[in-house]
Structure 1
Amino acid sequence: MVSNVNFSLINLWCTKNLVDSQYFLGRLLDISIKTPDYQVNYFTDPFDKEAKIVFVNSCGFLSAGRNEADTTVRKLLKAGKTVYLLWCAAQYYKKLIEEQGARSKAQEPVTWNFQPVTKIHYLSRGDLNKISLKNIMQGYDSTTYGDFEFSTWPRVYTNLEQKFEYLKIAEWCNNHCTFCIIPQIRGKQKSLPMEKVIAEAELMVKSGIKEIILIAQDTTRYGTDLYGKPQLLELLKKLDALKWDFTYRLLYLYPDIVTLTQINELKKLKKFIPYFDIPLQHISSPILKRMGRFYDEWYIIQFLDQIKKTFPVYYMRTNFIIGFPWETEEDFGKLMEFVGEARFDNIALFEYHDEPLATSSKLDKKVDYDTIRARFTKIRQLVNRQLLENEHARKWKEETGYIMETWKDGKMEGLVVRPVLHCPEIDSYDEISLKQVIGTFEKKSELGIWDKIVYTV
């Protein structure tokens, strides 16, 4: 008798989680082929009455991600689903429970009281090679939270229709920034060997992928654990040498490893998209030092200036934490001034809060919440104003981009276009009418997804 495994999967937040989810889907499909007693059925809607099991893959690093996962899990349980919490979030809760118990045993103060949601199951990346359809149906729970190997299972490219995909070149991180808990819950950096990165890139482009997005917790330190020193530039040169027609970009660059000379080397790469996603976190040198960052204000300014001098066209994205312990009005004022002068293309802002497992939670001179809120509001207004100015400056100018979808509203027809420099799923798209397309064509049907067009904004 064949048993049905009716499941759905929810991926929240991180693109690195998405890659894990894609491998997990591939793993389930692979073992279903080899297990004739079970029929695997995937449902896109997790609340479909036929979907009995729902896997939730969410961020364990950001509290907002954990809160969303918690809300999602409770809704699923209320709907009568069997719920599995995967990878990063599962490892966070396991670590939190261990830390809570250790502090209580040592009679140390515990400033939180975490109570795990009952009736759910936990799976870590270390279980990917161990799971079976039988133990999933029986309610399998992880026992190997720290174990990890790069997956050798098939991967489901869920972004194939839009012609882009993420390639994770390394796991985890060695940096130990004081506000971050990734090393505690996930471990030290493990890089994917260069030949395997190239092999996956080849598979992607042969499958129809036109843009590869390289990701890791810290892409700039790629290869340090395998080759004794960072090998990102060498990896990019090998990618650039591949014969197929595709481009690639990098996310999560740390400026302390990328030298000014290497920026010049990046310009020589033909397939490289000059997109610089640099999580600076702050500009004040004293705050950066307390954050555990490896650079200061002077180096940041030199680094950004070198990019602007080297690339005639580029896109620059960053993020900042507002209200980190010891942040004074002078520190915040310096950040405001820097944001006003640097003119980033996209900025993400975060309010500081204590994470139970983070070193920064033990720092003194905390900034009170009302002050954090006031500073956050002030810098958010500045950023929003800059983004509006950036959009206004683009008006009536020519832009090159890829068609992502088409639309029709009555007699009006148009396109949703992603500018070439903008990153999928992160940066803004343009919604234009057909009249804004530069060039001649007889009808909209001549234009397809991922066609490259020139248009006026």
Structure 2
Amino acid sequence: MPSKPALRVSVVSLGCPKALVDTEKMLALLAQAGCLVAAPADDADVVLINTCAFIAPAREESLAAIRRAVALKRRGKVRRVVVAGCLPQRLGPALLADRPGVDALVGVFDRPAIVAAVTARESPFVRVSRRPRGCEDDRGRFRLTPRHTAYLRLAEGCSAGCSFCTVPAIRGPLRSKPIHRVLEEAAELAADGAVELNLIAQDTTAYGADLPARPGLAELLRRLDEIEPVRWIRLMYAHPAGMSEEIVAAMADCRRVVKYLDLPLQHVSDGMLRAMRRGYDRRRVEALLAMLRRRMPGIALRTTFIVGFPGEGAAEFRELLAFVAGQAFDAVGVFTYWPEEGTAAGRMAGQVPARTRRRRRDRLMRAQQEIAFAANARRVGSQLEVLVDGLDGEGRCVGRHAGQGPDVDSLCILTAAAPAGEIVKAKVVGWDGYDLIVERIADCGLPIAN
């Protein structure tokens, strides 16, 4: 009797790198169960959508992806639509009534149920637990990133309690991985070809605070620095309140930790920071930035800001503009505030009109653009090390220097092709908007991170 053909699963992964790791783990479970994963949507039996629900635009993007998948199902192109991740976790079974045609929901705490959700015959299939598990094992992932770069998740959930944030309600409190498991996952990723490890969590600086021995991020960085095949280690999602002198010292000392930091400041006005419940003030921010630049000259600093938070007036916004102009960050992301149900900020007085929020976002981005373009012009003629990512959608060979994180930052455009995963020495010969144009000079050995 002929064997039953394997289910073909198409995947849509939305949201942050933490969600991408969830997707990679779910795909690994499906592959182990005999499914053919990563098929095109129009040549699949099942469409799996891993969603984001952090703010309204993310929910709209997720709902649009669901609409497209359901339309394929109605045309007979696919048999089943499975929705996973933050949106079903936040909305629960109500999502089924809102989006007829969805066959299964899997929440963020029910990742192991994905095989049953995909292969089940019944509809609806719902697995949305409200009780968080511990931080799960991310080994054995079906990686969607290029082989030479990978995200290494240190923890899940968050206990910071920012007034605007829905993450604790969706993903639960902080749950750190034991340090030995993080090291095992790092070694596995390196053995699988990753030369760049990007450390992620909702708050990487809180790593270990909930573990019995309380190993901190500084200790973890020093242990990761011993993994020989790894070339670059990049720290992302670092909460300013948790950036201690010990963490900064570890970054400065570790050879493989690139001098780059993703440090979401969110604002600089003391009044706004108090309302956001960020746990620091402007003086603390300025002292931290000075310490980082003193200990690691030339460090690339990336940050994000929220504009239009309740109570932000013209004076607070002018203060933020002046601060950004004075600090000259290497990269800045700007988000308009969205009042989210269930958050303290959503109930605050002084909500800023949407039009004002958008106007402030655009003005701050224009200010940062001038800073970034001027910095690129000054780089022409300099030399740097570039990790080659490969060809982009336009057929250009692109890569990143140590001060450019994956997916969120600008790129280096190489004038000639080079193998993906190699680190090459290059000379900056021009720039195009936020991106640098570089010419390969030579191959590199172990990159100089300090």
Query: For the superposition of Structure 1 and Structure 2, which TM-score range results when normalised by the shorter chain?
Result: 0.7 to 0.9
**Matched residue, 1:456:** 427
Per-residue displacement from partner, 1:277-320 (whole Å, max 9, x unpaired)? Answer: 01100000111000011100000000001111111221110111
Q: Is the 8 A contact 2:139 2:188 kept in 1?
A: no
Give secondary structure in 2 for the equivalent of 1:267. helix
Q: Is the 8 A contact 2:15 2:51 kept in 1?
A: yes
Q: Is the 8 A contact 1:220 1:230 kept in 2?
A: no
**Matched residue, 2:64:** 71
Q: Is the 8 A contact 1:325 1:366 kept in 2?
A: yes
Name the CA distance, whole Å, in 2 between partners of 1:59 and 1:300. 30
Name the CA distance, whole Å, in 1 between partners of 2:168 and 2:19. 16
Per-residue displacement from partner, 1:396-440 (whole Å, max 9, x unpaired)? Answer: 32222122225999xxx9742321321122211122324xxxxxx
**Matched residue, 1:392:** 377
Distance 1:42 1:266, change over 3 A: closer
Could you tell which deviates more after superposition, 81-90 or 10-19? Answer: 81-90
Q: TM-score, normalised by structure 1?
A: 0.85
Cα offset for 1:238? 1.1
Q: Counterparts in 2 of 1:93-132, with a 5 A limit?
A: 93-94=91-92, 116-120=98-102, 121-132=104-115
Name the CA distance, whole Å, in 2 between partners of 1:2 and 1:339. 60
Q: Is the 8 A contact 2:163 2:345 kept in 1?
A: yes
Distance 1:153 1:423, change over 3 A: closer
Distance 1:127 1:137, change over 3 A: farther
Cα offset for 1:3? 4.8
1:30 has 2:22 as partner: no
Name the CA distance, whole Å, in 1 between partners of 2:127 and 2:66. 18
Give unmatched runs, 5+ long, in structure 2. 429-450
Cα offset for 1:208? 1.4
- Opposite residue 29 of structure 2, the aligned amino acid is R
Cα offset for 1:329? 1.3
Q: Counterparts in 2 of 1:88-237, with a 5 A limit?
A: 88-94=86-92, 116-120=98-102, 121-133=104-116, 135-139=119-123, 140-149=125-134, 150-151=136-137, 154-161=140-147, 163-227=148-212, 229=214, 231-237=216-222
Could you tell which deviates more after superposition, 131-140 or 334-343? Answer: 131-140
- Opposite residue 100 of structure 2, the aligned amino acid is T
**Matched residue, 1:437:** none
Name the CA distance, whole Å, in 2 between partners of 1:373 and 1:422. 26
Give unmatched runs, 5+ long, in structure 1. 33-39, 99-113, 435-443
Name the CA distance, whole Å, in 1 between partners of 2:390 and 2:64. 31
Q: Is the 8 A contact 1:56 1:86 kept in 2?
A: yes
Per-residue displacement from partner, 1:29-87 (whole Å, max 9, x unpaired)? Answer: 1122xxxxxxx2234322x1x31211111212122221111111111111114221112
Cα offset for 1:27? 0.5
1:11 has 2:13 as partner: yes
Distance 1:142 1:43, change over 3 A: same
Q: Is the 8 A contact 2:89 2:128 kept in 1?
A: no
Name the CA distance, whole Å, in 1 between partners of 2:159 and 2:255. 31
Name the CA distance, whole Å, in 2 between partners of 1:42 and 1:245. 28
Per-residue displacement from partner, 1:8-36 (whole Å, max 9, x unpaired)? Answer: 1110121101100110011111122xxxx
Q: Counterparts in 2 of 1:334-373, with a 5 A limit?
A: 334-373=319-358
**Matched residue, 1:45:** 40
Name the CA distance, whole Å, in 1 between partners of 2:243 and 2:298. 19
Could you tell which deviates more after superposition, 139-148 or 399-408? Answer: 399-408
Q: Is the 8 A contact 2:9 2:46 kept in 1?
A: yes
Cα offset for 1:115? 6.5
Distance 1:250 1:206, change over 3 A: same
Per-residue displacement from partner, 1:240-285 (whole Å, max 9, x unpaired)? Answer: 1233343211110012122235313321111111111011000001
Per-residue displacement from partner, 1:167-214 (whole Å, max 9, x unpaired)? Answer: 111001001111001111221111111000001111111111101111
Cα offset for 1:355? 0.7
Pick aligned residue for 1:378 from 345, 363, 378: 363
Q: Is the 8 A contact 2:157 2:202 kept in 1?
A: yes
Name the CA distance, whole Å, in 2 between partners of 1:311 and 1:132. 46
Distance 1:390 1:153, change over 3 A: closer
**Larger of the two Rg values belongs to structure:** 1
Pick aligned residue for 1:313 from 274, 282, 298: 298
- Opposite residue 367 of structure 1, the aligned amino acid is V
Cα offset for 1:328? 1.6
Give secondary structure in 2 for the equivalent of 1:266. helix
Distance 1:449 1:288, change over 3 A: same
Give secondary structure in 2 for the equivalent of 1:361. helix
Give secondary structure in 2 for the equivalent of 1:318. strand
Cα offset for 1:165? 0.3
Distance 1:451 1:6, change over 3 A: closer
Q: Is the 8 A contact 1:27 1:128 kept in 2?
A: no
**Matched residue, 1:293:** 278
Q: How many residues align?
A: 417
Per-residue displacement from partner, 1:346-387 (whole Å, max 9, x unpaired)? Answer: 111011121112211100111222322332222121112212
**Matched residue, 2:82:** 84
- Opposite residue 45 of structure 2, the aligned amino acid is K
Name the CA distance, whole Å, in 2 between partners of 1:453 and 1:153. 30
Name the CA distance, whole Å, in 1 between partners of 2:57 and 2:38. 26
Name the CA distance, whole Å, in 2 between partners of 1:364 and 1:308. 38
Distance 1:452 1:244, change over 3 A: closer
Cα offset for 1:229? 4.3
- Opposite residue 122 of structure 1, the aligned amino acid is L
Could you tell which deviates more after superposition, 165-174 or 413-422? Answer: 413-422
Name the CA distance, whole Å, in 1 between partners of 2:115 and 2:295. 52
